[in-house]
């Protein structure tokens, strides 16, 4: 409990003791009416002054029909008709429910804050030959960080010295540490578990992964679900209506039948019952809990509107590279007897030396040795064909069949699945290299889990060759595949699929968030895969998976449906109980005690149910 909550608890305990003393005192002693009133006014003032004060302040600012107003009118009215004990007891139980609500909401917020406690407190920076501790926001790009075991990585960067294991649980939800060594990238928010790392920063703090994630979580509350907006609008209409009904109940029946005190008591009971606290509190708390539970599993959802939309997932569209496949290529060299495999890879890697294309990077990585740039000259990149360069004085051409036809080489066809790179040396065919993208071992299970969650269609869109795309789709059991698509073609296909879904169904697009930003924005829900450190993913996507495990798409759908189920349970339960007690109060079959349960009791039960949204089981 915080200081405010402890103070509320003391007020409740003291007021309860004074209430018991007042009840016993009025029974044992014959006080005048004003003495009885004074004995109950003391505990009422102690426990209700805050509620009365808020009712006045909110009324001045135009927020008349809220729970404070209802409680103030109901309890003051109870005093007016001589029901002193019930007036104090209603206010006492209201404050107990209010305290319980504060504790429950605080627990939820604390749980989420703990899960997302990734903000670094300091950074150790090498400056002028010494290591100084500074605020992460003061570190510039290119400075060297020293990260000791147990410390949090303060900014994104590249390891220039040392090796270690990183705890990425707060970011990805995965308990297995991730190993890093020289030349590998590290992201802010991870915890260094073992050796000392020297890291050169690649981003300022404001652009780092941890800053973007924190901003995303902090802003998620602004994107409310349709259900939340409905409850807010409903409460604005519902409360004035029930207040009007209470006024009618207090005035018109006694004008006909008399017994003003009885009908006023029923109207006050009606008011206490009608308070919409259970709905106004529990619905946002449920969505808040769902967002927090998803964050705990490494699934960042930008708002409860997207959380709610996930529950109606009908079509899931995948990008291929980096989503269902690793995006890191395996290289296989195939060559005539005139040249060895290592020579073929060396020539190709040298020709591709100055290119940053993923295929070029894979070829250089496959060669695995240091390359001498002085051996390469006159490198020319031919759009849609490949690369031409002078290597060791020989003209080397590396590319597709179009390039081979252009140089007049008698190239050998290849029937293996993958991207085929042909190589010539001085116009003589030297061989070809097959580059294949490895399918993630989790992808097939991810597709199966989606079907188990009721997803009607799974589609893959890729810019890769038809043979490659169809082979991947067959292996994973996807329903459809469209190949050789440019980004604009992917957008057109997604728009076609949007027209084919049911009115309430939602289309999800899952991509790597770098090349697929237009499609991520066009889908009902855009999901960025493997988005650690990707600005494009965090900006364009509605949901960000903090690792590259496609199975978490199904987990996100499960979380959304569970959260929505909890919200509906609270709505039906709260409205059902309130409606029953309102009707009973109107005909005199429910007293103030039943009204207290319909308000405070229902709120407590709804809040307890809402907290379940935080506890996510895979």
Give 209: exposed, middle or buried? Use CB within 10 Å, 0-12, 13-18, 19+.
Answer: buried
DSSP state of 334: E
Cα(549)–Cα(517) distance, integer angstroms: 19
| Whether 358 contacts 436, CB under 8 Å | no
Residues 420 and 465: beta-carbon distance below 8 Å:
no
Between strands 178-180 and 325-334, the pairing is: unpaired
User: Which DSSP category does 241 fall into?
Assistant: H
Rounded to the nearest angstrom, the gap between the alpha carbon of residue 25 and the centroid of all alpha carbons in its chain is 56
Q: Which residue has the tokens 């709905």?
A: 279
In which element (H, E) is residue 495 found? helix 487-500
**DSSP states along 293-330:** HHHHTTEEES-HHHHHHHTTEEEEEEESBTTTEEEEEE
- Dist. CA 325–CA 440, nearest whole Å: 5
Pairing of strands 543-545, 525-528: parallel
Buried b (16+ CB within 10 A) or exposed e, 542-564: bbbbbbbbbbbbbbbbbbbbbbb
DSSP type of residue 28: H
Residue 319 annotated in active site: yes
Query: What's the token pair of residue 453?
Result: 């969650």
Q: Coil, strand, or helix at residue 215?
A: helix
Q: Report the C-alpha dihedral over residues 603, 604, 606, 610, rounded to 10 degrees.
A: 130
Q: 296, 617 in Cβ contact below 8 A?
A: no
Rounding to the nearest 10 degrees, give the CA dihedral for residues 599, 604, 609, 613.
110
Q: Is 32 helix (H, G, I), strand (E, B) or coil?
A: coil
| 339 sits in which H/E element | none
Distance (Å, whole) CA 167 – CA 178: 7
For 587, phi then psi, to 5°, come to: -100, 5
Hey, how many other C-beta atoms are within 10 angstroms of the C-beta on 314? 18
Q: Which of 1, 219, 225, 223 is nearest to 110 (CA)?
A: 1
Q: Which two tokens stand for residue 420?
A: 């085929």
Q: Give the gyration radius of the chain's Cα atoms.
A: 34
- Marked catalytic residue, from 319, 437, 547, 548: 319
Catalytic residue list: 319
């Amino acid at each position: 409990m915080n200081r405010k909550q402890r103070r509320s608890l003391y007020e409740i305990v003291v007021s309860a003791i004074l209430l018991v003393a007042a009840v016993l005192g009025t029974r044992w002693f014959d006080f005048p009416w004003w003495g009885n009133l004074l004995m109950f006014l003391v505990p009422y003032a102690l426990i209700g002054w805050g509620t009365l004060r808020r009712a006045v302040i909110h009324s001045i600012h135009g927020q008349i029909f809220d729970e404070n107003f209802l409680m103030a009118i109901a309890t003051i009215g109870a005093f007016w008709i001589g029901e002193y004990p019930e007036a104090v007891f209603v206010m006492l139980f209201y404050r107990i429910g209010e305290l319980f609500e504060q504790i429950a909401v605080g627990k939820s917020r604390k749980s989420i804050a703990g899960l997302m406690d990734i903000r670094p407190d300091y950074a150790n920076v090498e400056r002028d030959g010494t290591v100084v501790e500074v605020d992460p926001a003061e570190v510039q790009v290119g400075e060297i960080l020293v990260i000791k075991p147990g410390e949090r990585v303060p900014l994104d960067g590249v390891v220039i010295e040392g090796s270690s294991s990183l705890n990425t649980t707060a970011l990805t939800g995965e308990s297995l540490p991730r190993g890093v060594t020289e030349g590998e990238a590290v992201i802010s928010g991870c915890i260094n578990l073992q050796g000392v790392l020297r890291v050169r920063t690649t981003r300022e703090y404001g652009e780092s992964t941890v800053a973007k994630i924190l901003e995303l979580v902090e802003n998620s509350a602004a994107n409310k679900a349709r259900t939340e907006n409905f409850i807010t609008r409903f409460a604005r209409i519902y409360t004035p209506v029930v207040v009007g009904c209470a006024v009618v109940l207090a005035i018109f029946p006694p004008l006909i039948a008399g017994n003003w005190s009885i009908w006023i008591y029923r109207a006050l009971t009606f008011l206490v019952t009608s308070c919409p606290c259970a709905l106004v509190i529990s619905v946002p708390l449920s969505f808040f809990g769902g967002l927090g539970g998803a964050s705990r599993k490494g699934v960042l959802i930008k708002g409860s509107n997207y959380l709610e939309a996930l529950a109606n997932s009908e079509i899931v569209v995948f990008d291929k590279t980096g989503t269902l496949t690793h995006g890191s290529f395996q290289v296989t060299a195939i060559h005539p007897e005139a040249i060895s495999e290592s020579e073929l890879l060396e020539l190709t890697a040298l020709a591709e030396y100055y290119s940053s294309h993923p295929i070029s990077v894979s070829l250089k990585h496959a060669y695995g040795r240091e390359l001498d740039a002085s051996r390469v000259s006159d490198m020319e990149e031919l759009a849609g064909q490949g690369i031409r360069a002078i290597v060791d004085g020989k003209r080397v051409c590396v590319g597709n069949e179009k390039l081979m036809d252009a140089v007049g080489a008698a190239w050998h066809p290849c029937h293996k699945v993958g991207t085929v790179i042909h190589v010539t040396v001085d116009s003589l065919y030297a061989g070809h290299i097959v580059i294949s993208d490895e399918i993630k071992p989790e992808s097939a299970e991810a597709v199966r889990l989606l079907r188990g969650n009721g997803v009607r269609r799974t589609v893959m869109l890729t810019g890769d060759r038809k043979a490659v795309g169809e082979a991947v789709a067959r292996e994973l059991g996807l329903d459809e595949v469209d190949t050789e698509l440019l980004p604009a073609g992917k957008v057109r296909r997604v728009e076609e699929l949007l027209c084919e879904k049911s009115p309430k169904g939602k289309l999800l697009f899952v991509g790597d968030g770098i090349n697929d930003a237009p499609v991520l924005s066009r889908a009902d829900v855009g999901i960025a895969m493997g988005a650690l450190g990707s600005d494009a993913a965090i900006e364009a996507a509605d949901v960000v998976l903090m690792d590259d495990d496609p199975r978490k798409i199904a987990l996100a759908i499960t979380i959304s449906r569970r959260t929505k189920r909890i919200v509906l349970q609270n709505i039906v339960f709260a409205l059902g109980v309130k409606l029953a007690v309102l009707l009973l109060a109107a005909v005199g079959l429910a007293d103030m005690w039943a009204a207290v349960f319909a308000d405070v009791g229902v709120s407590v039960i709804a809040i307890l149910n809402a907290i379940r949204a935080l506890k996510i089981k895979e």
